[in-house]
A and B are shown apart, each in its own frame.
Chain A
């Protein structure tokens, strides 16, 4: 059965592993250089005066496309696995009737399914693990400088680093197999698998992940560390605050400006044309006066966020959820094969 499974799987396997090998080779060549560039650049700017923010910004801009590309690869890989390895695995057999050829050799259905699922499923997880490892390693330097735009817990970076891609791949594969078994048509199964998987992948970071652990709630004074921008409405001169999480890499879920009475407000009632926050105050030190004035008026910002150091707890929890779902789907597949399939 192992031979047959491999014989049926080898083309698809070669395509994916070949692609991954090529990717790994590219990353292996460019990765050390990237780390080198970063280390030298950082050293240079430190010796020249210590402010490295310009260099960091430039380094990120230069490598952003590569960063996004490798991230995209690892984001797409589980979907591809579900689509091209999972969905056709059983449905193709049912479609062409070949399951009845195999089932009538001296082999039980359970064993047939176990070998098919085991071999292909493990290959799916191994492929994703390798890809995630390579991508995580390669982008570790860029990730450090990307935290402002791409928090490590946010939907892009978190989904594409560490161990969660393995969970995604296992789930996508099991989902594809299950759907294929139920609809018995490879193409339809692929379409449904893709739709469901994409929906899950959107729902997870937006609806579920924020609640995996209780978020940190804090009411803090308005200062540089939580300020993403101050916006002025030209019509009524009102000022609106755009907050960010206190530390780079934290994942801000929500923020709300409150006034001295603790009431939620949209606008901060302070003039930008005169007084402490007048336009002349763009320089850093005078900005502090502006913040002091806002604080004196009693404005605070309430925010809920997840600290960046929750990256690994979140990774393990989410991997656990996806793997458990995959196991449940697999269990269903076995039950269905034994009881319902013919």
Chain B
């Protein structure tokens, strides 16, 4: 099976600022991939590179085996729901569907109509009159009815209220299962992704901090709590993601494949949110950590 997304030393520069640098990824198809990171971390840049909206400054990127945006066939295989889910305010829902039908060779009109009906939307309604959640649903419908193999969504729920968020994610999940889509979606909130994603990429400061299947990430990351100890005195196979010390106590978040035998530690499981926060915080404090290299 071809990979959904492969990147080698991918980078993109705007003027002097690198929005994304040295990004190497290999995401197999069939996953719902969450791309998480703070605002301005480079999520949109990575997704735009993947959809062919941007050309890389360095490195290469292949999506479903092809160069993004290279031709009509490639564009047909990748759906993209842009940030803020833009729609034409003056066009009705029906007209949006017609737009999709005219511009996509693999357009599934029955699917689109059925989805709009199920959402309880009035096809004669102008998109400008829709609520944020309904507009996002319309954009998602356009993305799905295009019948892509990979659907990319850039912060699709950022502007939505909690209820609309849940409905949107629900709809996305159903479509994913129904049409065997690979999905990449970004968010700056882990909670948006927690229930949906089975693959996670953490992007901070234009660099990929960690990437992998959620299950595996959770299985290999631990929180160690115990008496005060220097970071350097941990075993070599334990990569320290974050460390905090009080006078008597040390808390580490580590990544290791091996079991932890040291009886001095209280070992506890991390939630996905803890894990992401650990990676985000560490980068905020220090930019040069040996663990960065070891992750890949």
Contact = CB atoms under 8 A, between A and B. Distances in A.
Contacts of B103: 1, 4, 102, 105-107
Interface in B81-119: 81-84, 86-91, 95, 98-100, 102-106
Contacts of B86: 96-98, 100-101
Contacts of B100: 105
B183 interface: no
A103 B80 CA distance: 9
A241 to B, nearest CB: 63
Contacts of B54: 342
- In the complex, which range does the number of interface residues on chain A fall in? 10 to 19
A97 B99 contact: no
A103 B105 CA distance: 14
A275 to B, nearest CB: 78
B146 interface: yes
A8 B81 CA distance: 21
A7 B90 CA distance: 10
Contacts of B87: 98, 101
A191 B148 CA distance: 41
Interface string A33-44: 000000000000
B73 to A, nearest CB: 8
Nearest to A111: B72
Nearest to B71: A108
B72 A101 contact: no
Interface string B41-74: 0000000100101100000000000000101100
Contacts of B90: 8
A99 B120 CA distance: 27
A15 to B, nearest CB: 15
Interface string B217-260: 00000000000000000000000000000000000000000000
Contact of B99 (A4, A96, A100, A103): A4
A48 interface: no
A101 B139 contact: yes
B142 interface: yes
Contacts of A3: 98-99, 102
B79 interface: yes
Contacts, number: 71
B171 interface: no
Nearest to A105: B103
A47 interface: no
Nearest to A112: B103
B292 interface: no
A106 B105 contact: yes
A101 B98 contact: no
A340 to B, nearest CB: 10
B76 interface: yes
A104 interface: yes
Contacts of B25: none
Given A100-B86, A104-B80, A342 B75 contact: no
Contact of A97 (B51, B80, B82, B146): B82
B72 A108 contact: yes
B75 A7 contact: no
A114 B164 CA distance: 38
Interface string A213-243: 0000000000000000000000000000000
A100 B53 contact: yes
A102 B75 CA distance: 11
B146 A106 contact: yes
A103 B78 CA distance: 11
Given A106-B76, A107-B75, A342-B48, A7 B82 contact: no
A101 B82 contact: yes
Interface string A100-143: 11111111100000000000000000000000000000000000
B53 A342 contact: yes
Given A96-B89, A108-B75, A342-B54, A1 B102 contact: yes
Nearest to A104: B80
A195 to B, nearest CB: 28
B11 to A, nearest CB: 16
B91 A104 contact: no
Q: Which of A104, A105, A342 has the most CB of B within 10 A?
A: A104
Contacts of A342: 48, 53-54
A7 B127 CA distance: 14
B82 A105 contact: no
24 contacts: A3-B102, A4-B99, A7-B95, A8-B90, A96-B88, A97-B83, A97-B84, A97-B86, A98-B87, A100-B80, A101-B86, A102-B103, A104-B75, A104-B78, A104-B80, A104-B81, A105-B75, A105-B103, A105-B104, A105-B146, A106-B75, A107-B103, A108-B69, A108-B75
Lowest 7 CB-CB distances: which A-B pairs, in order? A105-B103, A97-B86, A100-B82, A104-B80, A106-B76, A106-B75, A106-B104
Given A101-B88, A104-B79, 17 more contacts: A1-B103, A3-B98, A8-B90, A98-B86, A98-B87, A104-B51, A104-B75, A105-B99, A105-B142, A105-B146, A106-B72, A106-B105, A106-B106, A108-B69, A108-B72, A108-B75, A342-B48
